[in-house]
Structure 1
Amino acid sequence: MKPLETRLARLARRGDQRAFAEIVDLYKDKLYHLAYRMTGNRQEAEDVVQEAFLRVYKNLDRYDENQKFSTWIYRITTNLCIDRLRKRKAIYSLDAESSDHEGLDGYAMLPSDDRTPESELILSETQRLIHEAIAALPAKYKSVMILRYLQDLSLQEISDVMDMPVTTVKTRVHRGREFLRKKLEHKL
């Protein structure tokens, strides 16, 4: 029996609007979090998700049912984010002061527990430093690091999403970690 997403994609391909709405419900939050972590901007993340669903809808006939649906939809979203980051690079530096840009703190969306104001301040400062370090990663490392550590995908799944060999993914994860370690060792 085919996975739920594959069955929904098949129904949506035949024009079933409810099936496509279910696909949107299943993936809207996951894609938003992925896009937000890659772009660092709420509005851009929303735009990316909207564009991703438009592309999914227009290209349902190209979806290969032998492939995981999640891999296909993550690839579309990741590629849209990378395209935006490339275009943005020409406009301003990723190392720019983050206080100028609203919504760059993706960690504000983490659920809260009973923390003291002091621990909250230390935690938010640490999260800000980590977020800045991730934002400063070159796009080729940033995408694999986000997929690996924030989306919790396996190396093979990242390989499928990024359409690159697992060995390349391993290398980029390793180099991304090294980049983050060097960036953070002086700040934390």
Structure 2
Amino acid sequence: MKDNELSITCPNCGKLNVIGSNRCSNCGQRLPAQKQWKVQHHRTLSKRMVGVILTIAAVLAIGLLGLIVQHNQVLSYTTFLNEAPQKVMFYDAHHHPVKTLYLIGDRRKKTTAGIQGTLVISKRVRIDKNYRSLKRVYYTDNRQHGLLEVQSDPVMKFYYPSRSGKLKLNGRCEIAGYPKIRYFSWQGTSGGVTK
């Protein structure tokens, strides 16, 4: 800032006086208040601008946080498929047992679509717990679309009862080539379903 912006010149004698002074320190002449008003107005405008900028920044931050939470809500769940055999029983429309399989989770990673990974499918539980020789198949656990899809042969689809992302222990399912199968019952051997 320049000196003349921090002081008021006396119109009578030309002496520089400190802003806020009512009278000249040299001759006692009444000083004009216009310069003081302009400086105060400038400071008020700056405070107002800072307030506006902070408000806009806060609104943007809250909006961004909301988007992040909504986007990652799917990823806040962990897949229920793990290394322990998960027993799944399949039923027909009259809830009569049709088939039993064991799903064993292998690798998995979180993506924007949910959880993707590989698993193996066995018709029985092995005593040696060695499932390495079985073929790995891909699965997608998409909580947002309410579907767990196993890319096996045949393809298996497990449907979530709601968009909340919680797979219940039983529900509706489809197995390609098996029109009789309508429902499943998940009977995990080590904790089963996790939220």
Range of TM-score over shorter length: under 0.3
Tell which has more relative contact order, 1 or 2 (C-alpha 8 A, sep 6+). 1
TM-score, structure 2 length as denominator? Answer: 0.22
Larger Rg: 2
Higher strand share: 2
